[in-house]
Structure 1
């Protein structure tokens, strides 16, 4: 198994995060999302400008995983909560957690989640929130295995197409 080196991303990683974001979102949702809406979403929510803004915001943290040769293969983005549920000042959101398809399984996701939980605790969070697509059974099982439970739902826009997402939380 090839090791992944995990580290905190910085502004130099914006292009890598944009490429990973677009690739993983497309791979994860191309099977049941309309192509035009999917591409619009990727351009808006995974473009270079999005990640440059996230990396320049001290309230957000991106973690990036690379192969020994420096190829990016996964990442997580932790942000202040922006989900339609009651929150308090000590809540934090796991906005994104993705691995390229060939790197899923083998414990890489567990390692990344451990780093996310460590970062959330370091920031003084009492609860970690996230949104997940209900049809993504693999992700839902992963989150359940890591102590998350459903607390609500929301509409998630992909381009101009609405999708239903579930909101999960885990006490830290």
Structure 2
């Protein structure tokens, strides 16, 4: 597949089930060797339900974009951008890239960069000055991707999935 064989589309009502599917699959790919099955399922039902995606799309400054590939515009990744929700001080000029998910077999094709570029566009369109995100502290490939995109670590947060507590790096870049 060449770099140009995908499209980005802003999501709207009716896309919740598709986002739930891609979100759950991406989460399972990323954490199958990190979390126990019951914790993965609990996280999925809480954070990747169609209702959660509906909530993100309904936010006044929420933006959700999906990456689709041929044939048939099959979803393989997405971004969710919204108001920041971090345990560190944020500014009114901050905007959050809440999720950037892409199925592993579609990484390295330019889709991730295109999704990141779209998140930066949304940040600028809203007149914001800084894009921030949280990333699992042991996801070294994702951290390298973010650093290549101009992000640096500005803080950290801890979160619990099931019975285990995990560390996130909080990263930011000016836009």
Range with bigger deviation, 115-124 or 74-83:
115-124
Of residues 162, 165, 170, the one that matches 2:168 is: 165
Distance 1:49 1:160 in 2: 24
**1:22-56 CA distance string (max 9 Å, x none):** 11011101111122111101110011111111112
* Alpha-carbon distance between aligned partners in 1 of 2:58 and 2:126, rounded to the nearest angstrom: 17
Residue 6 of structure 1: which of 5, 8, 30 is its match? Answer: 8
- 1:20 paired with 2:22, answer yes
Q: Given the superposition, is the C-alpha separation of residues 58 and 160 from structure 1 closer, same or farther in structure 2, using an over 3 Å criterion?
A: farther
What CA distance in whole angstroms lies between the structure 1 residues aligned with 2:36 and 2:94?
A: 33
Moved more, 56-65 or 13-22: 56-65
Shift of 1:151: 0.8
Distance in 2, Cα, partners of 1:123 & 1:148: 19
Please report the TM-score for the alignment, with normalisation by the length of structure 1. Answer: 0.96
Q: TM-score, normalised by structure 2?
A: 0.94
Q: Which one of 95, 100, 104 corresponds to residue 97 of structure 1?
A: 100
| Cα contact 2:157–2:170 (8 A) shared by 1 | yes
Corresponding residue number in structure 1 for 2:136: 133
Superposed CA RMSD: 1.1
SS in 2 for 1:12: coil
- Gaps of at least 5 residues in structure 1 are none
Give the secondary structure class of the aligned counterpart of 1:139: helix
CA distance in 2, matches of 1:37, 1:55: 26
Q: Distance in 2 between matches of 1:159 and 1:61?
A: 28
Contiguous gaps of at least 5 residues in structure 2: none
Match of 1:11, SS state, is coil
